[in-house]
Every structure is written in structure tokens, then in C-alpha cells.
Amino acid sequence: MKKIVLLGYMGCGKSTIAQNLSKITEIPFLDLDVCIEKKANLSIKEIFEQFGEIHFRKLEHEMFLELLQSPENSIIGLGGGTPCYANNHLLLQREDIDSIYLKASIDTLYNRLVYNKSKRPLIADMNEEEMKEFIAKHLFDRSFYYNHAQYKVVVDNKTVDETVEDILKILA
């Protein structure tokens, strides 16, 4: 059974696009972060605060494997860091997966994240200037891993529906 896996930096739209793609394709959608939160019975923020990032990365890897093991078709929205730890990027190339990198520019990411940072522990306490510099450097570091996706969709200046359309074309 095939899985559609969406990846990319925080704010590129993985959760939003996965949900909308699910409505059109009628393939069930799973958000990796939400699955981790349900299993731990804690928010991502609480997991970071109480157990630290390294523990979160362990839970994230285990949940990614668990979702990939299930026999059903699904659309999986990863967390922004998922491909960058525990060799998760190598899982993106499996034959039973269509992995899609939602590629966004620093400006797009900054504009979307600046008012949506509170639930994202890596950037929650940064001011605007720090955030812009952090996103630029972090995206550069992470691009190596994101580029292991089988497909890439540029999301800048596109509506949710336009991005969903681009993904449907790739999957057709």
C-alpha cells in the first residue's frame, strides 16, 4: 500500500496541505506530530520542556516507523525536523512511499511563522530578527535531508488549492 509523505521546513504547509489533499483524494491523513502528542498524552511543547529534544526525536522516529508499518493507504504530514534525524531521510526513498518536499523560501516561511511560533518550541522564544536569521541558517542545514524526497513542489505564492493541484499532478 502506498503512503504519501509530505516534508519540509516548519510553516511550509505540511499539516494544512495534507489535510486538504486528504479531502480531495479521500485517502486518510495522519499528522506525525498529532500522533506523537496522542501517544504521549502531551503537546509537542510539553514533550520538549519535560524530556528535551533528543527524547522527542526518539518518539518521532518510532512513530514514523509505526505509521509506515501500517497496511492502509495514508497521507502523512511529517514534522519539519523528521527527515533530519535517525536516518529518517533514507526511509523517504522506499518504493512504497511517494515523498514530496514542500519547498518554501525563507521569506514565505518567516511570514507564516512569525505569528505562529508559540507551539513550535525551536522558535517560540525568538524575536523577529533572531527568527529570520535562524530560519535562513536552519533551512540551509536541513536542505540536504529535504532533498532526499522523491518529488519537490515549490509552494511560494501558491494558494492551498494550487499546491494540492500540483501534488495531484505528480501523483497522477
Ligand X SMILES: Nc1ncnc2c1ncn2[C@@H]1O[C@H](COP(=O)(O)OP(=O)(O)O)[C@@H](O)[C@H]1O
Ligand Y SMILES: O=C(O)C1=C[C@@H](OP(=O)(O)O)[C@@H](O)[C@H](O)C1
Separation CA 172–CA 158 (nearest Å)? 20
Query: Contacting ligand X (CB under 6 A), which of 3, 15, 76, 142?
Result: 15
Separation CA 151–CA 98 (nearest Å)? 8
Q: Is 142 known to sit in a ligand binding site?
A: yes
Reported as type and span, the H/E element at residue 151 is strand 151-154
- Within residues 62-101, the interface with ligand X by CB under 6 A covers 77, 80
Q: Which does 160 bind (CB under 5 to 8 A by kind): ligand Y, Mg ion, ligand X, none?
A: ligand X
Q: Is 81 known to sit in a ligand binding site?
A: no
Answer yes or no whether residue 111 interacts with ligand X by CB under 6 A. Answer: no
Q: Is 16 known to sit in a ligand binding site?
A: yes
Which residue has 511529517 as its cell numbers?
Answer: 78
Q: Is 13 known to sit in a ligand binding site?
A: yes
- Within residues 110-149, the interface with ligand Y by CB under 6 A covers 120-122
Separation CA 98–CA 18 (nearest Å)? 13
Angle between helices 160-171 and 14-25 (to 10 degrees): 60
Instruction: Enter the C-alpha cell of residue 108.
Output: 514565505
Answer yes or no whether residue 160 interacts with ligand X by CB under 6 A. Answer: yes
Q: Which residues bind ligand Y (CB under 6 A)?
A: 10, 14-15, 33, 44, 79-81, 120-122
The annotated binding site for substrate is made up of 33, 57, 80, 142
